[in-house]
Amino acid sequence: MLEFLLCSLVTIFPDYLYRSRVQGKRWGRELTLFSIWYELRWGITACAVLTISLLTMIFYYHPTTSNGASFFRTVTILPETGGRVAEVYVENLQEVEAGDPLFRLDDELARASYETAKAQVAEIDAAMVMAQSELAAAEGSVAQARSALTQATDELNRNLELQARNSSVVSEREIERQQNLVDGREAALTVAESSRASVQTKISTLLPAQKATAESALAQAQVTLDKLVVTAGVSGTVQQFILQPGDYVSAVLRPAGILVPKASGTGRFQAGFDQVSAQVIKPGMVGEILCLSKPFTIIPTVVVSVQDVIASGQFRPTDRLVDATEAARPGTVTVAMEPLYPGSADDVPPGSKCIVNAYTSFHDRLDEGGLGFGTWIFYHAVDATAVVHAAVLRIQALIVPVQTLVFSGH
């Protein structure tokens, strides 16, 4: 309507002045409700063409959308394993810091596994103490076998020496008995040394390996026990948290609640513009937003990024081919915007619904100069028509609260 009124001032209104002042046509006679179209046909046609052209230029170079919001991230509160709640540490809407405990699951089975693993470690430690005693006994056995071998060897050597001096003093059978005794004592020494080596291997290799395995099992049991205490992964506010002792929670069936991180969605807005505006919207463009949660307030913004893909075109590989007709609904160009002045949108709650305007500016191109007259006029016209869109947004700022509160029927 505003654009039509502006265009009529340079089309219909001059045509009417010409008909009434120059041609002398008067209301109620030549200019009636039935003859108005014929009499003002040139002005009405020019006004329609100019209005449509003006609207097209305004909405193309200064796009607007009601699909604006300040999206924020949420973190689902889930345990890594399912179980029944034994204790709850926080309440709904409570602010927590990263690492704060939220609730604890029943840990009877996990604690039993932990105590079993702890007992296995203690058992290995006791076995290492016993192995030291076994090593001392093996050392004694080796010393005893070596002493017996030395004694038997000395007796054999003495008898051999006597036999060499006088063969009749020591019999051949005695020499054989002494030789068998020495062989037996050598075998006994070998057995004792093998037993000692076995105990040493047990102390240096087997028991440490068993202890490492037991300690790993203990650490695993400790981790399982610690996982039963669910903590906050990030700092934020607990939402929809109505957990009570005895409730069953699971990572698949039933989450415990939602955690909204601090400052998530604050000071950043996302808007979905029509695809026609994809070639116009660029980072650095100035814009304005009107949020329902902050009525009667226009917040200046700047475009910080433009998503280089359109979400409606995404697909996930499946066992069937994708038909292009399934994406009948055209998607929008997602644009991220931030307040032009820091702090101006801090009191806008995350998730607010907003009306967003973006304005094309050729100010830098006009300052550079070297433009043709037609281009210079066109750039000035584009920059000037941004005022129309800005005025419409301010009219909406006055109308939307009244429309929402009075005429919405809620």
Adjacent-strand bridge partners of 194: none
SS3 215: helix
Q: Supply the pTM of this predicted model.
A: 0.69
Chosen CATH of 62-72+265-312+329-405 out of 2.40.50.140, 3.40.1110.10, 2.40.30.170, 3.40.30.10: 2.40.30.170
To the nearest whole number, what is the mean pLDDT of the chain? 86
Cα gap 37→340, rounded to integer Å: 48
SS3 86: strand
Identify the pLDDT of residue 307.
92
Query: Rounded to the nearest 5°, which phi and psi values hold at 358?
Result: -125, 140
Identify the pLDDT of residue 53.
87
Extents of the domains making up the chain:
1-61, 62-72+265-312+329-405, 75-106+229-261, 110-202
CA dihedral 354→348→235→106, nearest 10 degrees, is: -70
In the chain, what are the helix, strand and coil shares in percent, each to the nearest 5?
Answer: 50, 15, 30
The owner of tokens 């979400």 is 311
How many helices (H) does the chain have, and how many strands (E)? 9, 14
Identify the pLDDT of residue 253.
73
Adjacent-strand bridge partners of 259: 75, 238
Cα gap 393→299, rounded to integer Å: 11
Identify the pLDDT of residue 409.
59
Name the amino acid, one letter, at 81: T
Identify the pLDDT of residue 330.
81
Could you please state the CATH topology (level 3) that the domain comprising 75-106+229-261 is classified under: OB fold (Dihydrolipoamide Acetyltransferase, E2P) (2.40.50)
Nearest in space to 298 (alpha carbons), one of 351, 348, 362, 363: 348
The owner of tokens 């100035």 is 286
Q: Are 347 and 301 in contact (CB under 8 A)?
A: no
Identify the pLDDT of residue 285.
93
- CB 349: neighbour CB atoms within 10 A? 12
* Residues 6+ positions from 316 with CB-CB distance below 8 Å: none
| End-to-end Cα spacing for the chain | 28
Identify the pLDDT of residue 169.
65
Helix (H) or strand (E) holding 199: helix 172-201
Superfamily for the 110-202 domain: Helix hairpin bin (1.10.287.470)
Do 110-202 and 62-72+265-312+329-405 fall under one CATH topology?
no
Counting every residue written for the chain, the total comes to: 410
pLDDT, tens digit (0-9, with 9 covering 90-100), for 112-171: 988 999 999 999 889 888 888 888 888 888 888 888 878 878 777 777 777 677 666 667
The owner of tokens 């054999």 is 156
SS3 314: coil
pLDDT, tens digit (0-9, with 9 covering 90-100), for 354-409: 999 999 998 888 888 888 888 999 998 899 889 888 988 999 999 988 888 887 75
Instruction: For the chain, 410 residues long, give each residue's pLDDT as a single digit of tens.
Output: 766 787 787 787 787 787 777 777 777 777 777 777 777 788 888 888 888 888 888 889 999 999 999 999 999 998 888 889 999 999 999 999 999 999 999 988 888 988 999 999 999 889 888 888 888 888 888 888 888 878 878 777 777 777 677 666 667 777 777 788 878 888 888 888 888 888 888 888 888 888 899 999 999 999 988 889 999 989 999 999 988 999 999 887 788 899 999 888 888 999 999 999 899 999 999 999 999 989 899 999 999 999 988 888 888 888 888 787 776 678 899 999 999 998 888 889 998 999 999 999 988 888 888 888 889 999 988 998 898 889 889 999 999 888 888 877 55
Cα gap 236→261, rounded to integer Å: 4
